[in-house]
Amino acid sequence: MMLETANTISHDSERRLNQSRVLVAEDDVPLARFLQRGFQDNSYVVDLVHDGEAALDVLFQGGYDLLVTDLNLPGLDGVSLLKRVRATTSRLPILVLTARGGVEDRITSLDSGADDYVIKPFSFQELMARTRALLRRHNSTSVGQIQVGDLKLNRDEFRVERSGKTIDLTAKEFALLEYLMVNAHRSVTRAMIMENVWKTSYDGSTNLVDVYMKYVRDKVDAAFTPKLIRTIRGVGYVLSDRS
């Protein structure tokens, strides 16, 4: 199996705290080496593979925080790789590098399991920014339990409690509360909520968000002090335990 690791930091045991581990699957060797060097310069631990099969083998060993993959890989092509990876893990963030910039190719990438993509030739700074954004999103959603004040939400057990009392929520109420808690102390607009919780765009004609927000408030805030969910007039909502 063709796996290239940096000599200085090649194993998990040597991994420094807060260093994310990235697997780069790219068959163009000069580009792969450049990406490895660039990621390392930005404090990431990087392993390189040059074909799809090798990427799959290495990924199954686990321990990666991000997969960066070309779509035109020999052996197992990028789209097949995405599908195989997604069949086993839904949580690994995947960033696709592609020279195919057409709408259909972008849709295929995303529908096959990519979280984001950049079109070659791309800016390395943009690649780093997208990497940071993906890892930020992943880290904020992968922790099993989130807590804001005395409100606790456990994703793995689908459980919410406040001040030790269990609160029963429907799936949609749970998703809405989770989104508010992930974005705690930051205002979120109705459009953001519609896009992230209902996965649809907001056209201003529905009061669905407000209706569900009332349901959640009634369960999470009504019988407790302080009130955690606040309406920001003209903007949306914020969940915070700070006054």
Residues contributing to the site for another protein (CB under 8 A): 28, 30-31, 34-35, 38, 41, 97, 99-100, 120-125, 127
3-state secondary structure of 132: helix
For another protein, the closer CB: 86 or 120: 120
For another protein, the closer CB: 35 or 48: 35
In angstroms, what is the minimal distance from the CB of 35 to another protein?
A: 8
Q: How far apart are CA 130 and CA 119, in angstroms?
A: 12
Q: How far apart are CA 69 and CA 80, in angstroms?
A: 12
Q: Where are the beta strands (DSSP E) in the chain?
A: 4-5, 21-25, 45-49, 66-70, 94-98, 116-119, 145-148, 151-154, 159-162, 165-167, 188-189, 229-232, 236-239
Residue type, 28: D
For another protein, the closer CB: 122 or 224: 122
In angstroms, what is the minimal distance from the CB of 30 to another protein?
A: 6
Q: Where are the beta strands (DSSP E) in 17-65?
A: 21-25, 45-49
For another protein, the closer CB: 72 or 147: 72
Write phi, then psi, for 63 (nearest 5 degrees): 95, 5
In angstroms, what is the minimal distance from the CB of 125 to another protein?
A: 6
For another protein, the closer CB: 7 or 125: 125
In angstroms, what is the minimal distance from the CB of 122 to another protein?
A: 6
In angstroms, what is the minimal distance from the CB of 113 to another protein?
A: 22
Q: How far apart are CA 198 and CA 220, in angstroms?
A: 20
In angstroms, what is the minimal distance from the CB of 23 to another protein?
A: 18
Q: How far apart are CA 216 and CA 185, in angstroms?
A: 17
**Structure token pair of residue 220:** 């999470």
Longest Cα–Cα distance of the chain, Å, equals 61
For another protein, the closer CB: 41 or 218: 41
